[in-house]
Every structure is written in C-alpha cells, then in structure tokens.
C-alpha cells in the first residue's frame, strides 16, 4: 500500500479521499463512480479532485439511477475491474437493493466461487446532520442480514482510511457505511499504522463496571457517556465493533466477561436490528458471566424523524447512562 509517512490532522472525509487516491494509484483497475462524484467531488466532497487526478475514465458521474449504478458495477467487477461506487445518501440506496441482494451478494455462491465481485458500495449513513426525509437513515440491518456481504462501519478517520483500503483489496463485496456526522471531525491520523484487518473490533476504552458496545457514529456518543460516568464513579469500557459482518465475537466476549454487564448503543431502530443480534450473541456466549441482562440503547421504532425532532430520536449520553443505571448493581 502507498501510505503517508507521518501523523497529520485530517477529517474522515479527507481520510476516505486519501484512501481512494492511494488505492487508485496502486491499482489501475480501481474505478470510482456515482452521482456527482466527478468534477463536483460528491455532496460531501469525499471524491474531490479524483477526476482531475485520474481522469473521467476512472472517476465519473452517473445518471440518478442507483440500480443502474450497482448493476454496472456488477458487470465491471465480472470483467476484472474493482469498482467503488457511492450511494449519495443512505435512503437513496434502496432502489439498488435488488441488485445488491440478488446479484452482488450471491454471485460467488451462485458460481461456486468462480466469479468474485470485488465491489465496494460506499454509503453515507445515519443521522446527526439535520437531514430531511430520505437523507438520513440507518439501514445496516438490511445488509448485515444478507449473506455474502461484508459490512463495515468505521468510527474514526484512521479506521475509515484503513478499512476502505482493506475493502477495496478484498475479493468479496463490501458495504462501507460512512457516518455523515463524523465526516468533518478532525483527528490525528497516522496512515502508516491504520490498516485494521476486516472483522476485528477494538477496545477504545477499557472498563471495570460495564461495557458499551457501539459502531459508526455511536462510538463517539458511547465514549462521551463513559467520560461522564467516570465523573460519577462508574468505570465503563467502550468497544468499537468497526466490522458488523464479519463480527468479532472474541473481542466482544472477552470484554463483557470482564465487566459482567453490557449495553449496545446504535442509532438504528431497535426491533430486529444489528443491536438485537449483538445482544443475542453476547447473551449466548457470556450467560454465566453476566450480572444483568444485556440492554440496548437505540433509535425508536418509528420512521426517521424530521430535523427538529432528530435530537429526541438519536441515542445520547443521558439515555445511555440511564440504561447503565438500570443494570443490576450491588451498592452495599
């Protein structure tokens, strides 16, 4: 991989842009396309400058037709290319869902592994930006439920760079969920040390009393809750899952067994959700170590709300700490 040599401050949007640049420089079969990703650089400017650098044959705009975008990616991948496509917003991706489920996810199985589809589908997702209808959603459960798809949700700029490079190098199709509210948060990034393996969670904060399990935009909220809890005498750990599929049972199980209590934090609706699956897996693997049932703090089971009501819907520090307080504690 071609990577920078010194730590630098950058946003997640810039880290993703850098990952795309480095991948395109390293492999001429990597192409980037989607709605407005060319000269404009995308709605969030994530693809800024790629057309100028690599030409319109390798980074180009498409019609407003998500099913056609993914369908074209399938054909290109079958013929030796490595397409990276952008769904402009999470809820815009639904017209492409049939292509993703029926073809992208199943082609390797259908051909007994003879035809692989190294496609990355980038999806700006989740809330926190005051987006109007169809511009904010948390659709990870649809993709996670579909065998044949790898589903990644980075929470930091460093992981966004490394996981995207790993996704582009993968021979399997990847759904790459990019938390919109993190796009322009700056952090120190060392690109020499940011290529995490797919399927590996990371402990962002060790804890003694309970473990918060989160991914994507919910990681920052979980860390803020842990900071607040520390000032109130509770020591909460935070695990950043990073990879939804494949899932890192080993790291999650080890951390929950240390504390005996777990709370899953996610923006998506709670019913039949990724959070539900995580809670079930933890319950099965940590049953004899749990001092309390696994709890969840999620979005409510309603359509994603309009901008002025968003703050009431999204999990926040107060909801997380209220849920932690509801766990069984022996205060004697």
* 45-52: long-range contacts, CB 8 A cutoff, minimum separation 24: 45/13, 45/17, 46/13, 46/16, 46/17, 46/20, 46/86, 46/122, 46/124, 46/178, 46/183, 47/17, 47/20, 47/86, 48/17, 49/17, 49/21, 50/17, 50/20, 50/21, 50/24
Which of the following is catalytic: 134, 135, 269, 312?
135
Q: Fold identical between 9-193 and 202-326?
A: yes
Whole-number mean pLDDT of the chain?
A: 94
Q: In the sheet where 210-214 sits, what is the strand order?
A: 202-205, 236-240, 210-214, 262-269, 295-299
Residue 160 host element (H or E): helix 157-169
Structure tokens at 77: 């991948």
- Rg (C-alpha) for the chain, rounded Å, is 20
Tokens 């989740």 sit on residue:
126
> Dihedral of CA 202/204/208/212: which sign?
negative
Question: Global pTM?
Answer: 0.95
Look at residue 246 and give its three-state secondary structure.
Answer: coil
pLDDT value, residue 253? 98
Res. 2: pLDDT tops 50 = no
Res. 332: pLDDT tops 60 = no
Greater confidence (80 vs 189) lies with 80
pLDDT value, residue 4? 46
**Which numeric CATH code is attached to 202-326?**
3.40.50.920
| Angstrom distance (rounded) from CA 199 to CA 330 | 35
Segments making up each domain of the chain, as ranges: 9-193, 202-326
Q: Indicate the class that CATH gives domain 9-193.
A: alpha beta
Q: How far is CA 283 from CA 257, 263, 294, in A?
A: 11, 11, 7
Q: Report pLDDT digits (tens) over 3-26.
A: 445 678 999 999 999 999 999 999
Averaged pLDDT, 97-126: 96
> Dihedral of CA 291/292/294/297: which sign?
negative
Asked whether the beta carbons of 205 and 155 are under 8 A apart, the reply is: no
- Maximum C-alpha span of the chain: 68
Strands (DSSP E) found in 162-255: 174-179, 186-189, 202-205, 210-214, 236-240, 243-245
Asked whether the beta carbons of 153 and 182 are under 8 A apart, the reply is: no
| Angstrom distance (rounded) from CA 4 to CA 235 | 36
Please say if 145 is a catalytic residue.
Answer: no
Averaged pLDDT, 152-178: 96
Averaged pLDDT, 230-235: 95
Structure tokens at 220: 């920052």
Q: Which of 49-63, 184-198, 228-242, 269-283 has the lowest mean pLDDT?
A: 184-198
Structure tokens at 153: 């949700």
Look at residue 268 and give its three-state secondary structure.
Answer: strand
Q: Report pLDDT digits (tens) over 277-310.
A: 999 999 999 999 999 999 999 999 999 888 889 9
Res. 133: pLDDT tops 90 = no
């Amino acid at each position: 991989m071609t990577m920078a040599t010194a730590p630098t401050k950058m946003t997640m949007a810039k880290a993703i842009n850098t990952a795309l640049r480095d991948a395109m420089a390293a492999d001429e079969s990597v192409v980037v396309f989607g709605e407005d990703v060319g000269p404009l650089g995308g709605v969030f400017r994530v693809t800024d400058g790629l057309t100028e650098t690599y030409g319109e044959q390798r980074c180009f705009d498409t019609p407003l037709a998500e099913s056609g975008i993914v369908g074209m990616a399938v054909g290109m991948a079958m013929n030796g290319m490595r397409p990276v496509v952008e769904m402009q917003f999470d809820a815009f991706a639904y017209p492409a869902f049939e292509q993703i489920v029926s073809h992208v996810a199943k082609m390797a199985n259908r051909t007994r592994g003879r035809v692989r589809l190294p496609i990355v589908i980038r999806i700006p997702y989740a809330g926190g930006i005051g987006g109007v209808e169809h511009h904010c959603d948390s659709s990870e459960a649809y993709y996670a439920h579909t065998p044949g798809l790898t589903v990644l949700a980075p929470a930091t700029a460093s992981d966004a760079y490394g996981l995207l490079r790993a996704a582009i190098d993968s021979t399997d199709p990847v759904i790459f969920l990019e938390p919109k509210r993190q796009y322009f948060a700056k952090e120190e990034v060392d690109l020499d040390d940011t290529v995490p393996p797919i399927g590996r969670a990371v402990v962002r904060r060790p804890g003694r009393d309970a473990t918060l399990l989160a991914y994507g935009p919910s990681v920052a909220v979980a860390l803020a809750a842990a900071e607040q809890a520390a000032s109130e005498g509770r020591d909460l750990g935070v695990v950043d899952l990073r990879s939804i599929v494949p899932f890192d049972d080993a790291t999650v199980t080890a951390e929950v067994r240390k504390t005996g209590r777990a709370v899953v934090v996610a923006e998506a609706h709670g019913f039949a959700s990724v959070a539900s699956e995580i809670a079930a897996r933890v319950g099965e693997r940590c049953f004899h170590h749990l001092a309390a049932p696994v709890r969840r703090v999620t979005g409510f089971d309603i359509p994603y709300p309009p901008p002025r009501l968003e703050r009431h819907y999204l999990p926040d520090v107060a909801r997380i700490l209220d849920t932690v307080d509801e766990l069984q504690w022996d205060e004697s």
